[in-house]
Amino acid sequence: MDTTRNTVLEAWMKEHGHSANSLAEAVNTAAEQLTGRTGGHDGSSVRAWKSGRIRWPNAVTRKALELVTGLPATELGFVPRGRAQSTPAPQQEDPDMKRRTLVGGIAVAAAAAAAPGTAPRRIGMSDVDRLQQRFAEIIASDHRHGGQLSIEQRAAALADEALNLQNSGAATQRVRSHLYACAASFRSSAMWAAIDGRRYDDAQRHMREAQALAEMSGDQAIKFRIWSHAGTMYRHMGRPADALAANDVARNLNITRRDPMFASLGLARQAAIHGVAQDRTGTRRAFDQAQDAMDRADPHAVRPVWLIAFYDQAELHSLALSAYLTLGDYPTAESHGHRCLASLRPHMVRSRAITTTRLAHAQLHQGDADAATTAAMQVPATAATQHARVSRMLQEFGAALRAKAPGSPTVQTWTEHTAAWRTSA
């Protein structure tokens, strides 16, 4: 017999009269109770659990299984990542499993705490603080590089670390809530990296798990981040109605009434969505309201690291640049682009590349091919070739430039420059 088969789950299903399809249906119903969305499992999912091809389902699935069976995942024969195994694990087929490699000392501590014959360790705020430090590192990496698959994978792995820590010892409810918030934070960063890299299927998968974790944490700030990201994701996908609906969930959270800075971000992103919807009046009104809310916000208030790391006057101008560019109001877009670049903080490397590229588009559409090309050539080669959004926008810039000034010296300059980019990348 294949020693990796989950014979414990098989025995439970037999005892309770469940087929693969009936268990999948029960888990989907439980997932809907947890997240508001029906799970996507079928009989093949359950067979993957039984065969051992999926040894540790994602967090929402584990919680749903616990609701259905009344047992924790470990008592159903599932094996947490990072736990020692007597035989090599087979190749995983679940995409989540491919992404999650435990890293860092927290997972080591968790595995040691769970080892047989040792007393359960006490999980405390010092463990949460270590996770939050790792989250700050993810945020910093995102602002330097943005959209990279490695960032997405690292954030997803750290989300698993936070969840594994839940099962490694005793903790107060306050600590457990913080651990769920940490897991949701990491998962939302994985979601954002996937959005930024235009990997939208992966982004939506991260979103669903992040939403469930945020609900378990009760943390309003991380709920805001996830739903606000969802609005941005749908905006990039060209689905403004879904974008507005998701962004409205964020904007209706109590935290936007307690802190005008959250309200400002929600309104700024709403304005950018109105731009995609070609709603000029809505765009202008929302930006005016976003600016007013930012002006009212207490500059000394304590806020999450992910918010203070990026949202400021420069980001407000960046979103305005995006909106007015989409609306075809190129002079206004250019004005916001210059103001954004003038106030961007040094660590916002990814944002500078995106803003510079959008500024070049705004200038080109006003007929200034030389200024536009000079601006576009300021984008670093790494961003131009490795960041999916920037790369696509620059390809579109090149096509528009060739259409507006065919055979011109400016086109030749741009062609030579992009060839050098590809060589240096």
Say how many C-beta atoms besides its own lie within 10 A of residue 95's C-beta: 12
Q: Is the pLDDT of residue 89 over 60?
A: no
Question: What is the per-residue pLDDT for 67?
Answer: 76
Question: What is the per-residue pLDDT for 423?
Answer: 64
pLDDT, tens only, 149-196: 888 999 999 999 998 888 877 888 888 899 999 999 999 999 999 998
Question: What is the per-residue pLDDT for 173?
Answer: 87
Three-class SS state of 237: coil
- Tell me, rounded to whole angstroms, the distance of Cα 198 from its chain centroid: 11
The whole domain housing 200 covers 100-217
Residue 259 lies in a domain: no
Residues found in the chain: 425
Helix or strand (DSSP H, E) at 183: helix 173-196
Q: How confident is the model at residue 95 (pLDDT cuts 50, 70, 90)?
A: very low
Q: How confident is the model at residue 394 (pLDDT cuts 50, 70, 90)?
A: very high
Worst-scoring range by mean pLDDT, 138-142, 199-203, 349-353? 138-142
Residues 66 and 125 placed together within one structural domain of the fold: no
Q: How confident is the model at residue 80 (pLDDT cuts 50, 70, 90)?
A: confident
pLDDT, average across residues 380-403: 89
Residue 72 lies in a domain: yes
Q: What percent of the chain has pLDDT over 70?
A: 88
The domain boundary, picked from 93, 128, 147, lies at: 93
The domain boundary, picked from 182, 217, 252, lies at: 217
pLDDT, tens only, 237-283: 999 999 999 999 999 999 999 999 999 999 999 999 999 999 999 99
Three-class SS state of 41: coil
Residues 8 and 34 placed together within one structural domain of the fold: yes
Question: What is the per-residue pLDDT for 88?
Answer: 37
Question: What is the per-residue pLDDT for 32?
Answer: 74
The domain boundary, picked from 217, 242, 265, lies at: 217
Residues 122 and 85 placed together within one structural domain of the fold: no
Residues 105 and 206 placed together within one structural domain of the fold: yes
| Cβ within 8 Å of residue 124, ≥6 positions away | 171, 175
Q: Which residues on adjacent β-strands are paired with residue 122?
A: 170
pLDDT, tens only, 278-301: 999 999 999 999 999 999 999 999
Q: Is the pLDDT of residue 113 over 70?
A: no
DSSP labels, 239-302: -HHHHHHHHHHHHTSTHHHH-HHHHHHHHHHHHHHHHHTT-HHHHHHHHHHHHHHHHHS-TT--
Per-residue three-class SS string for 122-180: ECCHHHHHHHHHHHHHHHHHHHHCCCCHHHHHHHHHHHHHHHHHHCCEECCHHHHHHHH
Q: Is the pLDDT of residue 1 over 60?
A: no
196 with 152: CB under 8 angstroms?
Answer: no
pLDDT, average across residues 309-319: 94
Residues 89 and 106 placed together within one structural domain of the fold: no
Q: Is the pLDDT of residue 73 over 90?
A: no
pLDDT, tens only, 214-226: 999 999 999 999 9
Q: Is the pLDDT of residue 5 over 80?
A: yes
Question: What is the per-residue pLDDT for 267?
Answer: 97
Question: What is the per-residue pLDDT for 284?
Answer: 96
Model-level pTM? 0.70
Worst-scoring range by mean pLDDT, 105-109, 209-213, 358-362? 105-109
Residue 48 lies in a domain: yes
Residue 49 lies in a domain: yes
The one-character DSSP state at 90 is P
Residues 113 and 210 placed together within one structural domain of the fold: yes
Residues 168 and 200 placed together within one structural domain of the fold: yes
Question: What is the per-residue pLDDT for 252?
Answer: 96
Worst-scoring range by mean pLDDT, 15-19, 98-102, 372-376? 98-102
pLDDT, average across residues 398-402: 93
* Beta-strand relationship, 121-122 and 169-170: parallel
Residues 80 and 182 placed together within one structural domain of the fold: no
Q: How confident is the model at residue 360 (pLDDT cuts 50, 70, 90)?
A: very high
Residues 58 and 3 placed together within one structural domain of the fold: yes
Residues 110 and 84 placed together within one structural domain of the fold: no
> What are the two backbone dihedrals, phi and then psi, of residue 147, each rounded to the nearest 5 degrees?
70, 0
Residues 86 and 184 placed together within one structural domain of the fold: no
334 vs 80 pLDDT, higher one? 334
Q: How confident is the model at residue 424 (pLDDT cuts 50, 70, 90)?
A: low
Residues 43 and 65 placed together within one structural domain of the fold: yes
pLDDT, average across residues 67-85: 75
What is the average pLDDT value for the chain, to the nearest integer? Answer: 85
Q: How confident is the model at residue 12 (pLDDT cuts 50, 70, 90)?
A: confident
Structural domains in the chain (count): 2
Q: Is the pLDDT of residue 334 over 90?
A: yes
pLDDT, average across residues 68-85: 75
pLDDT, average across residues 336-344: 95
Query: In angstroms, what CA-CA distances link 251 with 159, 227, 261, 292, 312?
Result: 25, 9, 11, 15, 17
Residue 333 lies in a domain: no
Q: How confident is the model at residue 368 (pLDDT cuts 50, 70, 90)?
A: very high
Q: Is the pLDDT of residue 309 over 60?
A: yes
d(CA 214, CA 172): 18
Q: Is the pLDDT of residue 118 over 70?
A: no
